[in-house]
Amino acid sequence: MSETNPMPNGAGTACGSCSLNRAANLKRLGVTMDDWDYVVALAGNPNVGKSTVFNSLTGLRQHTGNWPGKTVSRAEGGFEFAGKRFKLVDLPGTYSLLSTSLDEEIARDFILFGRPDVTLVLVDATRLERNLNLVLQVLEITDRAVVCVNMVDEARRHGMTVDDRQLARDLGVPVIPAAARFGRGIPEVLQAISDVATGKFECRPHRLHNEPPAIRRSLNELVTRIQDMYPDLPNARWVAMRLLAGDDHVHAALRNGDLGSAGMHGATGGRTESGRAV
């Protein structure tokens, strides 16, 4: 691919180049992603509009439908925002990351081993509590996430409002209200992804801290040991917890090096050296 025009639309006009005009900074790249600066994973419950968001960010036309379980495998696409190239990976919709089904395993493995630079978790405003179960599990694994509360229009129709500031405080990551079907909130989502990816916004993700007192010492001991061995592992506590709970999957991943080494998982494809984030 040839180098992209740094000023996507209307180079001459003031609006097009203004940094406040976020949408103008978006350049949809479709599937033509040869190299990228950041990898963004797109997670969420089934039928919360992941494919819609995926399409509006990448300009692809992945088939969307108003029914759950439609995206069977991982879809990938790209976009360019504020001069950086992002690769977006649409994960299958899941209710949790407990790895009880193939979908959950695909989603969890990607966040765990693929180590996306940002994980965008899409939640349904009308079913926030159930959706937050997934968000909290994602935040246990990664410390770089953006939560997009989709379908706020639908929630309003049911007389509900979601306080996104309160939510952002509780979760410790950016929270963006959106109505993706109508393109509302997408520019803000882009900005948030970019801020987290570049480190402009530092996430302090909500983590569980109320483990049973009986295991606290064991847990801390294990966490310390893991952190000693793998200082840049973003989820030492979660790994320790899973090991103590007897998670064979994590056990195996640690043994064969998927978890320990900071490199990308094979399935994600190589990332260029120059593009290596942070």
Partner 1 sequence: MNADQADAGAESPAEDILRTAQRLRQGITGDLHEYWVEAIYADAARIADRAVSRPEKKARPTWDRTIDRIVTSRLWGFPIMAVLFTGMFWITISGANIPSGWISNLLIDRICPLLRQSADAVGFPWWLKGLLVDGIYLCTAWIIAVMLPPMAIFFPLFTILEDYGYLPRVAFNLDNLFRKAGAHGKQSMSMMMGFGCNSAGVVATRIIDSPRERLIAILTNNFALCNGRWPTQFLIASVFIGSLVPAYLAGFVAAASVTGIAMLGVAATFVISWLLSRSVLKGEVSTFSLELPPYRPPRIWQAIYTSLLDRTLFVLWRAIVFAVPAGAVIWLSANLSIGGQSIAEHFVNLLNPIGLLIGLNGVILFAYVVAIPANEIVIPTILMLTVLTTGSTAMGQGAGVLFEIQSEGALRELLHSGGWTLLTAVNLMLFSLLHNPCSTTIYTIYRETGSARWTAIATLLPLAMGFAVTFTVAAIWRMFT
Q: Does 31 bind partner 1 (CB under 8 A)?
A: no
Distance CA 239, CA 106 (A): 17
Helices 236-244, 248-255: inter-axial angle, 10-degree rounding? 120
- The DSSP code for 199 is T
Widest distance between CA atoms in the chain: 66
Stretch that binds partner 1, among 30-38, 76-84, 96-104, 109-117 (CB under 8 A): 96-104
CB of 11 to partner 1, least distance (A): 29
Looking at beta carbons only, is 84 or 249 nearer to partner 1?
Answer: 249
CB of 184 to partner 1, least distance (A): 14
The letter for the amino acid at 277 is A
CA distances from 104 to 73, 97, 127 (A): 12, 5, 19
Query: How far, rounded to the nearest angstrom, does the alpha carbon of residue 108 sit from its chain's CA centroid?
Result: 11
From residue 103 to residue 142, the character string flagging contacts with partner 1 as x (rule: CB under 8 A) and all else as - is x----------------------x-xxx-xx-xxx--x--
CB of 238 to partner 1, least distance (A): 9
Q: Please, are residues 119 and 173 in contact by the beta-carbon 8 Å criterion? A: no
Find the distance separating the first CA and the last CA of the chain, reported in whole Å.
25
**What b-and-e string marks burial along 81-99, b requiring 16 or more CB atoms within 10 Å of the CB?**
bbebbbbbbbbbbbbbbeb
Return the residues of window 159-178 that contact partner 1 according to CB under 8 A.
Answer: 159-164, 166-167, 170-171
CB of 16 to partner 1, least distance (A): 25
Stretch that binds partner 1, among 11-19, 21-29, 108-116, 215-223 (CB under 8 A): 215-223
Stretch that binds partner 1, among 4-12, 18-26, 109-117, 225-233 (CB under 8 A): 225-233
Looking at beta carbons only, is 85 or 167 nearer to partner 1?
Answer: 167
Q: Please, are residues 167 and 175 in contact by the beta-carbon 8 Å criterion? A: yes
Q: Does 276 bind partner 1 (CB under 8 A)?
A: no
Looking at beta carbons only, is 196 or 226 nearer to partner 1?
Answer: 226
Q: Does 143 bind partner 1 (CB under 8 A)?
A: no
**DSSP bridge partners of 175:** 147
CB of 57 to partner 1, least distance (A): 16
CB of 266 to partner 1, least distance (A): 14
